[in-house]
Chain A
Amino acid sequence: MNHDDHWEKQLQQLPLGNGGFSVESMNKIKERIRLNRTTRLRSARIAVAAVSIVSVAAVAWAINRGMQPQQVATEPRVDETEAQLIVQYWDNQSFMNQIGQPYMIRHPNIDFKIVTSQSNDLASYRKWLEESNADVLQIPLAYIDDLAKDGAIIPLDDMLKRDRVDLDEMYQPMIELMREAGGGKLYALVDQFSTDLLFYNKTLFQRHRVPLPDEGDTWDDIFRLAGRFDGSTEDGKPVYGLSFGWRSDPYNAIMKVGRSEGLSLVDAKGLPQVDSDAWHKVWSQVTEGFGKGWINNEPGPAASNIGWTEESIMKADTFINNRAAMSLQSYNSSWNFISKAIEKGIFTGDWDALPVSSSTAPEVTRSFGGAIIYAINAKSPNKDQAMKLIEYIVSKEQSERDYVSGNFPLHANRATSVSIANDPADRVYAAKLDADTILEQLERNQLPGVLEMSAALNAKGTEAAQSIIAGRTTVEETLSQLQEEAVSAIQSSGRTDGLP
């Protein structure tokens, strides 16, 4: 045995195979507490056979965890100086549940104060930041370059290097996106992100003798395949080629397709291009699908006084009920429903998922739905502690906590010691993201008047699309009208430069 391979290092991992502390152990402990059985009984293991509900995630976690090397948990650091970190987050309670409480267990000397920002544009965020004394910021992606130029946030590269954070183990497109946003430097780190995936029901494709979608398929290919289901029925009910989740809104579908094609409603100067040829094509394809009925056009679940319930959504979603061959949905929300539908035996088809490619760049995806991003306030007196907190938030350990809790977020630092059978996240992490186009779309959305313009179009879009579907107007007429609406909305916001 040589020095390089010292036996003592081997003791850091206990190769237990399928054994050790498991979800089953956790459930037994909780059950014994519930039954108030504090006395030791050897028969406890047998007596408490009926454990509480174990989610799919938990079971998979248990199984998978047992097969992984037993790693030493992160060691609590009790030698830190006491500090109160001020963190920008949505609300105190969810911060403490998600991050604060587990962090305080590991770092007993750190206390938290949560602050929120109500700003919805860069100018008001800048003002808020000026007055804020937050150490850790949760910033919009589109603001990174501006705040970096202001010197309001600090580059993290050196601190990450010092703390030996392995950026290579993170989902590289998210690191590239951050570097791109920061002009080469890393000013922020992504915790979670969202992206759309095209789920497809192989069984339906096979039953209707339609070839399966393939990697690299563009929207032209997907619409062509979806159109093959035109007029299809099963058991007297329509079968659709494509759906867009559980809500059937043609304007929402047009925006999703347009976004994944890398289209923007405004040009580089922030001037409307609602009636461009590229948008014209998307409107034509989507409204044709809705009109002919190969895109799901059912009204969706009725909202109760508490909004939509999980039950009503699962009942109304045509993909979950094996009546839509494909469905473009955000990974995060759809997988939650689909996995439950599989567990309950509602969704029975053989299935898979794919990232959607743009017709102009088939090797990348542009279906980016946003990210939760953290940065450090340049004015913070607690930069090292703030860095430690961000490092914890984006750690694999924290991703694992989140995953085990039954949520399905996409973490930039993916949990690798836990997994669920057939989790389509593999498809997301295998995809490449078009950082340039995504940032360009976001930048354009920040230009003056664009927010007001988007709001005006959102208010009119669905009705306009319905009008085309019903044959009352043409795509040309509708887009021409919406273009005028867009110009008018920007003018109303106070901007006049460059407008007709």
Chain B
Amino acid sequence: MDYDYLKQMNDGLDRNALLDELMVTYGKEVWNYAFFLTRRRELAEDIAQDSFIKAYHHIYSYRGDRSMKAWLLAITRNTARDYFKSAWFRKVQFIPEDFGQGLARPSAENEWFGTQRQREIWNAVLELPRKLRETLLLYAHHQLSIKEISELTQLSEGTVKSRLFRARAVINRTFGKSAVSEGRDRT
């Protein structure tokens, strides 16, 4: 599809209302993806903010050739890459946050903080090298298909599958299991 569907919206497009809508619907997705890439909450917040501001300014360039989520995640990815390239980022050494300590902190006010096992899994996944981590989480967390991940990362579908396999193998090794996935992958 090569038309700009947003321009077809009835009564014109209220860009501010659309921004609200995008943030309510995809705010968590964008923030989480930025977090998976950086493993730092304050960076995820910065990148998520920048990504939505870019989306706001480029909303008319969105074409319905992919899902809005995939479009926003692509912007997020490019924004994160700009961060990684910056002199400031290269000077600062980041230590990944311990998921159990830093994120899901149990407290009386916060009843839901995940199980110990969930924290172990997330810690293991966030310890993966960035390329494997990103591919695995685009698939398992953001629920993108192999094709969508391939378009987003501009890698061949074969490479995406290979990274997914390697990521699973590492995690399975951590938990003492062979690298087999459940059922068929989404294509």
A residues neighboring B (CB under 8 Å): 1, 3, 6-21, 25-26, 28-30, 32-33, 38, 40, 42, 44-45, 66-76, 78, 92-93, 96-97, 100-102, 104-106, 108-109, 111-112, 114, 400-401, 404
Q: Are A14 and B68 in contact (CB under 8 A)?
A: no
The interface residues of chain B lying within 8 Å CB-to-CB of A108 are: 1, 5, 64, 67-68
Complex-state Cα separation, A210 to B50, whole angstroms: 58
Q: Are B21 and A105 in contact (CB under 8 A)?
A: yes
Q: Are A15 and B136 in contact (CB under 8 A)?
A: no
Q: Are A102 and B21 in contact (CB under 8 A)?
A: yes
Q: Which of B8, B54, B110, B168 contacts A17 (CB 8 A)?
A: B110
The interface residues of chain A lying within 8 Å CB-to-CB of B132 are: none
Select from chain B the residue with minimum beta-carbon distance to A400.
B24
Q: Which of B26, B67, B113, B168 contacts A15 (CB 8 A)?
A: B113
Q: Pull 16 A–B residue pairs with CB atoms less than 8 Å apart, ordered by A.
A: A10-B117, A11-B125, A11-B141, A14-B32, A21-B32, A29-B23, A71-B28, A76-B69, A78-B67, A92-B10, A92-B11, A93-B11, A102-B25, A108-B1, A108-B5, A404-B24
Q: Are A29 and B45 in contact (CB under 8 A)?
A: no
The interface residues of chain A lying within 8 Å CB-to-CB of B105 are: 17-18
Which residues of chain B (49-94) have a CB below 8 Å from chain A?
A: 49-50, 52-54, 56-57, 64, 66-69, 82-83, 88
Known interface pairs A78-B66, A100-B10. Does A15 touch B119 (Cβ–Cβ under 8 Å)?
yes
CB distance from A421 to the nearest CB of B (A): 13
Complex-state Cα separation, A114 to B10, whole angstroms: 10
Q: Are A96 and B10 in contact (CB under 8 A)?
A: yes
B residues neighboring A (CB under 8 Å): 1, 5, 8-11, 14, 16-32, 35, 41-42, 45-46, 48-50, 52-54, 56-57, 64, 66-69, 82-83, 88, 103-105, 107, 109-114, 117-119, 121-122, 125, 136-137, 140-143, 168, 171, 175-177, 181-182
Q: Are B25 and A73 in contact (CB under 8 A)?
A: yes
Q: Are B182 and A3 in contact (CB under 8 A)?
A: yes
Q: Are B111 and A25 in contact (CB under 8 A)?
A: no
The interface residues of chain A lying within 8 Å CB-to-CB of B182 are: 3, 6, 8
The interface residues of chain B lying within 8 Å CB-to-CB of A20 are: 28, 31-32, 35
Q: Which of B14, B16, B26, B41 contacts A73 (CB 8 A)?
A: B26
Q: Are B181 and A8 in contact (CB under 8 A)?
A: yes
Complex-state Cα separation, A101 to B18, whole angstroms: 8
Q: Which of B10, B25, B104, B176 contacts A16 (CB 8 A)?
A: B104
Chain A CB within 10 A, most for which of B57, B117, B141: B141
Known interface pairs A20-B28, A45-B45. Does A32 touch B53 (Cβ–Cβ under 8 Å)?
yes
CB distance from B47 to the nearest CB of A (A): 9
Q: Are B67 and A72 in contact (CB under 8 A)?
A: no
CB distance from A415 to the nearest CB of B (A): 12
Q: Which of B14, B46, B52 contacts A45 (CB 8 A)?
A: B46
Q: Are A7 and B104 in contact (CB under 8 A)?
A: no
Complex-state Cα separation, A3 to B52, whole angstroms: 38
Complex-state Cα separation, A40 to B82, whole angstroms: 10
CB distance from A116 to the nearest CB of B (A): 14
Q: Which of B67, B122, B168, B181 contacts A14 (CB 8 A)?
A: B122
The interface residues of chain A lying within 8 Å CB-to-CB of B31 are: 20-21, 25
Complex-state Cα separation, A45 to B43, whole angstroms: 11
Select from chain B the residue with minimum beta-carbon distance to A404.
B24
Complex-state Cα separation, A26 to B28, whole angstroms: 11
Q: Are A44 and B49 in contact (CB under 8 A)?
A: yes
Q: Are B41 and A19 in contact (CB under 8 A)?
A: yes
Q: Are A42 and B46 in contact (CB under 8 A)?
A: yes
The interface residues of chain B lying within 8 Å CB-to-CB of A12 are: 140-141, 143
Select from chain A the residue with minimum beta-carbon distance to B28.
A21
The interface residues of chain B lying within 8 Å CB-to-CB of A30 are: 16, 19
Q: Are B25 and A33 in contact (CB under 8 A)?
A: no
Q: Which of B5, B32, B88, B121 contacts A7 (CB 8 A)?
A: B121
With contacts A8-B181, A21-B48 known, what are 9 further pairs, Cβ within 8 A?
A11-B122, A11-B137, A14-B122, A19-B103, A21-B31, A38-B54, A42-B88, A45-B42, A105-B68
Select from chain B the residue with minimum beta-carbon distance to A110.
B5
Select from chain B the residue with minimum beta-carbon distance to A4.
B182
Chain B CB within 10 A, most for which of A11, A18, A40, A401: A11
Q: Are A8 and B114 in contact (CB under 8 A)?
A: no
CB distance from A19 to the nearest CB of B (A): 6
Known interface pairs A11-B125, A15-B104. Does A70 touch B177 (Cβ–Cβ under 8 Å)?
no
Complex-state Cα separation, A45 to B40, whole angstroms: 15
Known interface pairs A11-B121, A38-B57. Does A101 touch B114 (Cβ–Cβ under 8 Å)?
no
Q: Are A73 and B28 in contact (CB under 8 A)?
A: yes
Known interface pairs A8-B182, A17-B113. Does A33 touch B56 (Cβ–Cβ under 8 Å)?
yes
Chain A CB within 10 A, most for which of B16, B54, B113: B113
Complex-state Cα separation, A92 to B9, whole angstroms: 11
Chain B CB within 10 A, most for which of A25, A69, A71: A25
CB distance from B70 to the nearest CB of A (A): 8
Complex-state Cα separation, A104 to B10, whole angstroms: 11
Q: Are B9 and A68 in contact (CB under 8 A)?
A: no
Complex-state Cα separation, A111 to B10, whole angstroms: 9
Complex-state Cα separation, A68 to B28, whole angstroms: 12
CB distance from B107 to the nearest CB of A (A): 8
Complex-state Cα separation, A32 to B53, whole angstroms: 8
CB distance from A101 to the nearest CB of B (A): 6
Known interface pairs A15-B112, A38-B53, A73-B29. Does A44 touch B46 (Cβ–Cβ under 8 Å)?
yes
Q: Are A101 and B21 in contact (CB under 8 A)?
A: yes
For the complex of A and B, 3 pairs with smallest distance between CB atoms: A15-B114, A21-B31, A21-B27
Complex-state Cα separation, A402 to B176, whole angstroms: 46
Complex-state Cα separation, A13 to B54, whole angstroms: 26
Q: Are B112 and A72 in contact (CB under 8 A)?
A: no
The interface residues of chain B lying within 8 Å CB-to-CB of A17 are: 103-105, 107, 110, 112-113
Select from chain A the residue with minimum beta-carbon distance to B12.
A96
Q: Are B9 and A96 in contact (CB under 8 A)?
A: yes
Q: Are B110 and A10 in contact (CB under 8 A)?
A: no
Q: Which of A15, A32, A111 contacts B118 (CB 8 A)?
A: A15
Q: Are A33 and B53 in contact (CB under 8 A)?
A: yes
The interface residues of chain B lying within 8 Å CB-to-CB of A14 are: 32, 35, 122, 141
The interface residues of chain A lying within 8 Å CB-to-CB of B46 are: 40, 42, 44-45
Q: Are B140 and A11 in contact (CB under 8 A)?
A: yes
